[in-house]
Structure 1
């Protein structure tokens, strides 16, 4: 196994890495560092956040820097202020023993005057966001004429944020550039086009996506109605009282609104998004790293600069549109060999998005029930009991206050004292959850299956054997994959040429109709409705595989539509493709 001591780094870097506790390089470091040390060339490194990319390019970069030369020799571009600052901090640690090394970071959101003074102090390495770097170039505050090494970190994210023209401008203004090192989580067309224009004969190094191989992440999802999304978030927070996590939102406005609502309710959270000034964002990150906050509510872009290894939970307030973004988000937890949980709040219509993420990331999600009020109260009770059991009061506390406490409660039984103390801790939770509603969307999964199940509903669906549904099992698979309903909730399946029937519990019927009505099957919109009541009561349904086009045991009646209209119109509407 490769170790950092065997990588032939300059002695100062090896010593610093040892001080940081690094022994074995990560997969991307093992692939990239030896190449960039012995035979520098243009490279593309494909690895996602949290895989050690900063050291993969940072150590070789500092290894090649000539500290005797007082001009900019290397440039690192990153998409956000937070990531820019994070890289700069890592460079300081790596170069701690390199006398004469100067690195500086330049980014927006802070006054430019101090950064102008920094770049005029002759740093050999500059870490920058594209916009601020161009601002400095236009002010002629620095020159890139002698830059030999350029690193594009999180290149896909920079391009997604609209920095294409800025990147091209900067690369065109590095005439002495010998090597370009591009790091990205994905190799999309935009990234490839940049490589084709500004790199030559590059080598490509890729490592497996973190969450495909990271079995320490428990991927959970909770199904609720859209209007109950915030209440579900709140309940999940209360059900995990020891949480140290990140809550992801799609927009900056959602980030701000959700944070404000949670803070008003007494939760120790804070927003983190691009509309906040740098001073405020830095303060939030400091509080989060010091664990003064139980969670931060963040947008994807703002979260790029978060580098914390002991995050216990990631919560997706809404699923991202891109499955790759989900991979980035969930990768914030379960780092450094620890376990973690990624929770996603979805509406019934979004269950298909879960399936899409499963297919792309090859990760299995576990459907979890939103805890009821009693479960929340019980969870908090045991959390406080554990806190009491593991508490270690300072010796001075007992010496100073023990006598007063004993005197005050001398006549109170121990059990009564404990009961009152626990009540004080739990009374707000009990008040909030004593009569809490069920937030789970959908159906009762506890109803037993049976041929003559009471309260069952017969449903019609406009797909059949001519659509490729050649068996009961195929229809069952289509329904369960589309709705996430348990197979045991479905029985008495009848598949015909152009349509099919099946029975479900009455509590599941409305849910299935709502979800399936949003689906398409082989490009055709799915139509699903409750079948005619008298046909359902007769029970004279066609047998499996019947080619009959008549509904319900030969009555010839069309399914009962929830909308108005005659049976002939409904019948024609369902047979049209």
Structure 2
């Protein structure tokens, strides 16, 4: 049996991780630690979140640090403040209370002056988000000349968030590093480009298949019409009374709208999106970690780096536009060997994207029936009964009230008491679901009067269309990948600008300098009015009908 001692971990660290209950290394730890302890090899580790990557690089870097040299020797770069703080906390736990190794976190959303003062006191390891680190470099408030080890954690997320140039800038400013360690859940071309440019024959390991989903996660989907998406979400939540999860939406507007609707209906939920201040964000995350709220609704950008244990469900209110983002969403559950459920609410037009994700994660989605109203009430009832029977009554002075209770219920038989308890607890559910509609899409309901399958027609609309398709109009816009967009972020940008829903869009073709967007003809002019003439980073946006001839042969401004 492999243990941490056989991997080469020193005695002080062994004592600390043993106190934490670490006995056997995870697969990523078993393969990575012996290589990283050499300190001279570049390394790429591909593994899903929740597989123990922090210990895989954290234990070796703590062991390699020279305690007598009080200057930054190791730099860990990660995408978000939450992950930055989590890594710092984990390193503090791994090193033990008596360790002389100092770890400093630097991140945005808080005083840079305080962080500069912390750095001046002397530190061995710096954990940083890219933006704040670059700010410190440009202020000459941090010296990276003596950095030996650079660790890029959640590298694919950093690149998805537009940090490619930042990462390259950081690597250029650590010229004396002995090794670079890159950890990622997926391996998009941008990461391969960075590794080829800045790493020397890296030792690469993959735990599971590249981009594969966590085997502990059950991938489920519920198919319904778009108009029933919100009601389907409520059915899923109500059918899982013990749920502790994250609901993902495409935009912050969707996150806020759905949150407000659910709060009005009595659900324990908070929203996490880009409009929150750091103090508001911290408060929401604190309540979620303490389980004061049962559900967190978040956009993909806002949820970057969230590491919360015990999440039972991830619900995709809408599928992500970038299929690789699904891997990060679903990876929030099924962590540390526990099982989890990733649920997607899908319309017929989105089925094709579901199949793309299946290929990416090499796993099948299980189609589930949307629970009926009676199913929900039955599930809630039995959950309540189980909770009632498991309630601890050993600590209260309940016996003092028994004489009064006996007197009050003297004329009421046992069955009536049980009925009254059930009515008190389930009156809302019973009334709400009394005449609840069937939200499932039945085969006979998918046929039109001519017998044509509506799913086939709608799925056909998702396939690439000719530019002259009568239902869609093709628009030109002078924005492309050179402007820092990838497909998902570009889609979110144009929808946020125009206040339209993604259902009106068809195919999007992105080039370096320009892009073309297919959109339903009825709302094409609304999108043009929303974007054309607006400024983006000091440059005027041009958007118009691609078939009008006005854009052909022209360079962007």
TM norm. shorter chain > 0.5: yes
**Contact kept? 1:239, 1:379, Cα under 8 Å:** yes
Deviation at 1:520, TM superposition (A): 4.9
Deviation at 1:229, TM superposition (A): 1.0
Could you list the per-position Cα deviations for residues 528-550 of structure 1 after superposition, in whole angstroms to 9, with x for gaps in the alignment?
xxxxxxxxxxxxxxxxxxxxxxx
Alignment map for 1:84-163 (pairs within 5 Å) = 84-163=84-163
Work out the CA distance in 2 between the residues paired with 1:519 and 1:146: 53
**Contact kept? 2:39, 2:179, Cα under 8 Å:** no
Please give the secondary structure, in 2, of the residue aligned with 1:110.
coil
Deviation at 1:125, TM superposition (A): 0.4
Work out the CA distance in 1 between the residues paired with 2:310 and 2:210: 16
Q: What is the match of residue 267 of structure 1? A: 267
Work out the CA distance in 2 between the residues paired with 1:458 and 1:259: 38
Deviation at 1:394, TM superposition (A): 3.6
**Contact kept? 1:319, 1:346, Cα under 8 Å:** yes
Structure 2: gaps (5+ residues): 471-557
**Contact kept? 2:212, 2:360, Cα under 8 Å:** no
Deviation at 1:175, TM superposition (A): 2.8
Deviation at 1:43, TM superposition (A): 1.1
Matched, 1:337 2:280: no
Could you list the per-position Cα deviations for residues 318-339 of structure 1 after superposition, in whole angstroms to 9, with x for gaps in the alignment?
1112332222222222233332
Deviation at 1:524, TM superposition (A): 13
Cα distance 1:348–1:397, how it changes in 2: closer, same or farther (>3 A)? farther
Cα distance 1:197–1:221, how it changes in 2: closer, same or farther (>3 A)? same
Deviation at 1:104, TM superposition (A): 1.2
**Contact kept? 2:350, 2:459, Cα under 8 Å:** no
C-alpha RMSD over aligned residues: 2.6
Please give the secondary structure, in 2, of the residue aligned with 1:38.
coil
Could you list the per-position Cα deviations for residues 408-441 of structure 1 after superposition, in whole angstroms to 9, with x for gaps in the alignment?
2222111111111110100111121111122223
**Contact kept? 1:82, 1:302, Cα under 8 Å:** no
Cα distance 1:408–1:2, how it changes in 2: closer, same or farther (>3 A)? same
Could you list the per-position Cα deviations for residues 345-374 of structure 1 after superposition, in whole angstroms to 9, with x for gaps in the alignment?
010111122222222322121111111211
Work out the CA distance in 2 between the residues paired with 1:287 and 1:41: 41
Work out the CA distance in 1 between the residues paired with 2:456 and 2:208: 39
Please give the secondary structure, in 1, of the residue aligned with 2:438.
coil
Deviation at 1:317, TM superposition (A): 0.6
**Contact kept? 1:13, 1:94, Cα under 8 Å:** yes
**Contact kept? 2:185, 2:211, Cα under 8 Å:** no
Q: What is the match of residue 299 of structure 2? A: 299
Alignment map for 1:122-271 (pairs within 5 Å) = 122-209=122-209, 212=212, 214-271=214-271
Work out the CA distance in 1 between the residues paired with 2:403 and 2:395: 13
Q: What is the match of residue 441 of structure 1? A: 441
Work out the CA distance in 1 between the residues paired with 2:215 and 2:205: 23
Matched, 1:515 2:458: yes
Work out the CA distance in 2 between the residues paired with 1:221 and 1:360: 16
Work out the CA distance in 2 between the residues paired with 1:39 and 1:439: 57
Cα distance 1:203–1:439, how it changes in 2: closer, same or farther (>3 A)? same
Deviation at 1:211, TM superposition (A): 8.4
Cα distance 1:255–1:212, how it changes in 2: closer, same or farther (>3 A)? same
Query: With structure 2 as the length reference, what TM-score do the two structures score?
Result: 0.79
Please give the secondary structure, in 1, of the residue aligned with 2:32.
helix
**Contact kept? 2:67, 2:101, Cα under 8 Å:** yes
Q: What is the match of residue 382 of structure 2? A: 382
Aligned pair count reads 470
Cα distance 1:99–1:217, how it changes in 2: closer, same or farther (>3 A)? closer
Q: What is the match of residue 371 of structure 1? A: 371
Q: What is the match of residue 488 of structure 2? A: none
Cα distance 1:275–1:120, how it changes in 2: closer, same or farther (>3 A)? farther
Work out the CA distance in 2 between the residues paired with 1:231 and 1:516: 23
Work out the CA distance in 2 between the residues paired with 1:215 and 1:141: 44
Q: What is the match of residue 473 of structure 2? A: none
Please give the secondary structure, in 2, of the residue aligned with 1:150.
strand
Work out the CA distance in 1 between the residues paired with 2:228 and 2:172: 51
Which deviates the most, 72-81 or 194-203? 194-203
Deviation at 1:138, TM superposition (A): 2.4
Deviation at 1:510, TM superposition (A): 5.1
Radius of gyration: which is bigger? 1
Work out the CA distance in 2 between the residues paired with 1:511 and 1:175: 59
Q: What is the match of residue 517 of structure 2? A: none
Could you list the per-position Cα deviations for residues 228-282 of structure 1 after superposition, in whole angstroms to 9, with x for gaps in the alignment?
1111111111111110111112222222222222122211111123332222222
Could you list the per-position Cα deviations for residues 541-561 of structure 1 after superposition, in whole angstroms to 9, with x for gaps in the alignment?
xxxxxxxxxxxxxxxxxxxxx
Please give the secondary structure, in 2, of the residue aligned with 1:303.
coil
Please give the secondary structure, in 2, of the residue aligned with 1:518.
helix
Please give the secondary structure, in 2, of the residue aligned with 1:67.
coil
